[in-house]
Chains A and B, each alone.
Chain A
């Protein structure tokens, strides 16, 4: 026969004191939340308009997303050990939407290639230019030019390094993927593709062209 037990501590509450450490990291000590939830520019992680202003300004009403989701877009998994909602899943969604859109976009242009299938030139696929359209370099620069990455919540071991070496390039590119992913989640694929076509593609094509134009070849 099964015995029923009454849990010992069900009604008993207890208190404990934890020292919250400020300053440089010391193994074993819990850091003070105020420090953990502040980015390297001193901006506090909060669901307020000022944190997501650059994202909201970039999106027109048609593509508007929830402020909470916008905050998730600008939060990288490196921030506070991933304890706050971060953009990993949004990046996964956004990068796939973007890649699929670009593949459809580049193959659907008018062509004279006799090997095209149903007037779709597949020879452009896999070419450096078409690959770099959704590459980290183009999108990282795009985020910087559009000031989307002005406020981001992320961490690196050395923020003083260059745009690329500090990891900001990669995190910024992820922000763009995440933004597309967030629009896909909120409004659906058709609207996300319109967003790419209207707000992302023209700039990214220019940037990618400049990357390839610089001295003919990128080192």
Chain B
């Protein structure tokens, strides 16, 4: 491919042969999803885009009559500006009914969540290795976590078919306050205990013995969408506060996410990265009961006269390894504080002043 006006840059549209190897183009430009039947005037006229698959929105007056929706609105303490119809849209994942679903709200909420969670982690734990950083992001805003959040908010899933609703004379407005992700044909499927039939989405998410269920994804999507809806009606500050109150307030154990295969080598490489010129030494600090059945050894890891960490173990080797691992943990889990001992400000805070450190990245072991 040759981009007009940018004559110096050539991107091969076909494969290239070099030194006996074939290189296929790896970059795939995003393609439109024909399902949405999107129309627009000009490709860069953002306001003109319209997904014609969706024909209408739930009127606000109708949404306000749904008891479940009103209850959820109050339970989440959403501002009055937050329309009930948007909340209902956030709970709708159905694509084929013509009613606007939560696709856009979900994308918006996901971007807000990703930014604020990443910002928090990058500033408060600047030295987290990238695999642990990704795991921490997952712990805060992964599908399983958001599913739990959605459940704790009391969001109900709409699992009864139209026929069941008719037979039980259920008020039609109730469904607008429920999480709608199953088509009618899926609701009436016969299930057997111990047997799970995966749908197309679930099959794609299999990893080992686990998969992400449509229900989990739907709950996660609704949580993201509610955050997106909050942004559209009340602005970014409200969305940020909501994320801090509901997502980042949850306690995540970072220590349990670490697994070191070669701790001593890793520590050596980190010391090299930090320009610590003196060699690392692991020294026995104290011991008791060497000849007893319950000996205890205390070992320290030093660079010159600076102690990096200490470990206690029932054998010298165990205490050495624990000392090295503790040194690594105290390095990776470092949290900067400001002059008065408080957590440092984040880039999105008012009157931000950079006081922390920028993570220098992982070393290859």
Which residues does A use to contact B, with CB under 8 Å? Answer: 1-5, 7, 9, 69, 72, 77, 81-90, 92-93, 96-97, 99-100, 103-107, 109-115, 117-118, 120-132, 135-137, 141, 144-145, 158, 160-165, 169, 182, 184-189, 192, 205, 207-214, 218-219
- Decide: B23 and A5 in contact? CB cutoff 8 A: no
Task: Please indicate the chain B residues that have their CB under 8 angstroms from the CB of A127 in the complex.
Answer: 32, 38, 40, 49
- Decide: B359 and A88 in contact? CB cutoff 8 A: yes
Given contacts A123-B51, A219-B1, contact A141 B12 (CB under 8 A): no
- Decide: B104 and A122 in contact? CB cutoff 8 A: yes
Min distance, Cβ B112 to any Cβ of chain A, angstroms: 7
Task: Please indicate the chain B residues that have their CB under 8 angstroms from the CB of A105 in the complex.
Answer: 46
- Decide: B46 and A109 in contact? CB cutoff 8 A: yes
Task: Please indicate the chain A residues that have their CB under 8 angstroms from the CB of B83 in the complex.
Answer: 117-118
Task: Please indicate the chain A residues that have their CB under 8 angstroms from the CB of B122 in the complex.
Answer: 89, 92-93
- Decide: B107 and A2 in contact? CB cutoff 8 A: no
- Decide: B11 and A125 in contact? CB cutoff 8 A: no
> Quick one: closest A residue to B123, CB to CB?
A185
The verdict on B284 contacting chain A, using a C-beta distance below 8 Å, is yes
Given contacts A120-B232, A207-B6, 16 further A-B contacts (CB under 8 A): A9-B281, A109-B47, A110-B47, A114-B57, A115-B51, A122-B232, A126-B103, A135-B30, A144-B8, A162-B11, A165-B18, A165-B25, A185-B354, A187-B354, A205-B44, A210-B6
> Quick one: closest A residue to B288, CB to CB?
A2
The verdict on B287 contacting chain A, using a C-beta distance below 8 Å, is yes
Given contacts A96-B118, A103-B107, A209-B43, contact A161 B3 (CB under 8 A): no
**Could you say which interface size class chain B belongs to?**
35 or more
Query: Hey, what's the 0/1 contact readout for B215-226 against A, CB within 8 Å counting as 1?
Result: 000000000000
> Quick one: closest A residue to B287, CB to CB?
A3
What is the CA–CA distance of A126 and B4 in the complex, to the nearest angstrom?
25
What is the CA–CA distance of A13 and B25 in the complex, to the nearest angstrom?
55
